[in-house]
Amino acid sequence: MQAATDLREEIEVLSDVVTPLSQPELDRETLFKGWSVEDILGHLHMFDVAALKALQGPELFAKMAGPILAGMKAGKTFREMQYEWLDGLSGVDLRAAWYQTAVELADGFAARDPKDRVQWFGPGMSVQSAATARQMEVWAHGQAVFDLLGLRRKETDRIRNIAHLGVVTYGWSFACRGQEAPEPAPHVRLIAPSGAVWEWNETQDDNRVEGHAVEFAQVVAQTRNVADTGLKTVGDAATRWMATAQCFAGPPSDPPLPGARHISGG
């Protein structure tokens, strides 16, 4: 399954960057909500384990998801919940555990029928969609690490998976805020890292988003404010969408303020 291969490649890209880091470097704060590199690895690890449990069956997933959902309902932050769950796992040991589990998860996805259904914290989804969702998480959280270290990630056309996820969650970006999505959905025209042109939805001159696929993915995954990209929006629906686009599950999340997320230097 290509989605599993793309996830594995995304894992390797992030692993190559975090593996050489010392403990003081793992402790450095990123521009993502003040999270450290270690915080990010812990977050990815906890939800990778949850995804692995979902592959193994609904009972195992429910056993792990229950305390997380209860914590969310009680108002705990993701960091509070993950450090309770990690139970002291930290530093280089956490980094090793993240990588081992992430690879096991990608291999688990690859061994399954892409159409199989798995449970998740929101609605259930296909195995293929779950693999793409995990790729998005690795890529999006990895952006904060690349930014912190002053590195420009070499992007490839596997970014199409994340762009597609952004397009198909158009309605969700409004629904999670209790709003009705304007119809029709905007036409989306993006330039791939390879130079290919990708398009979604019916062509509409007065209702569209166009630009580079990487910047579109950054906006829908909320690693950049649309004002910090070269994306062009035409029409009220497109403009409103890009202002608060959210391709991930959970409560409504505000994008970073203009200028708040950027490559900061090593």
To which residue do tokens 């090793």 refer?
96
Where residue 88 sits, what CATH number does that domain have?
A: 1.20.120.450
Phi, psi of 74 (to 5 degrees): -80, -5
Q: What is the pTM of this model?
A: 0.96
Same domain, 197 and 97: no
CATH code at position 209: 3.30.1050
| Predicted pLDDT of residue 250 | 85
211 SS3 class: strand
The pLDDT mean for the chain works out to 97
Question: Do 177 and 211 share a domain, yes or no?
Answer: yes
Query: Does residue 129 lie within any of the structural domains?
Result: yes
Residues 137 and 167 in one domain: no
pLDDT (0 to 100) of residue 265: 59
Least confident among 7-11, 12-16, 70-74, 255-259: 70-74
| One domain, residues 19 and 112 | yes
Q: Collapsing DSSP states into helix, strand and coil, what is residue 111? A: coil
Residue 39 has pLDDT above 90, yes or no: yes
The pLDDT of residue 266: 45
Mean of the pLDDT values across residues 221-244?
A: 98
Asked whether the beta carbons of 175 and 181 are under 8 A apart, the reply is yes
162, 183, 215, 242, 256 from 237: Cα distances, Å: 21, 8, 18, 9, 20
In a domain, 264, yes or no: no
Counted domains in the chain: 2
Please check whether residues 31 and 136 belong to one and the same domain: yes
DSSP, collapsed to helix, strand or coil, labels residue 221 as coil
User: What pLDDT is attached to residue 99?
Assistant: 99
Same domain, 56 and 122: yes
Question: Which residue has better confidence, 264 or 84?
Answer: 84
Do 141 and 164 belong together in one domain? Answer: no
Q: What is the mean pLDDT of residues 206-230?
A: 99
For residues 63 and 43, state if they share a domain. Answer: yes
pLDDT above 70 (res 23): yes
- Residue 119: inside a domain, yes or no? yes
- Same domain for 167 and 85? no
Expressed as residue numbers, the domain containing 185 is: 159-244
Whether residue 169 is contained in a domain is answered as yes
Residue type for position 265? G
**pLDDT tier at 201, thresholds 50, 70, 90:** very high
- One domain for residues 130 and 169: no
Q: Please report which confidence band the pLDDT of residue 123 belongs to, taking 50, 70 and 90 as the band edges.
A: confident
SS3 191: strand
* Statement to judge: residues 40 and 70 lie in one domain: yes
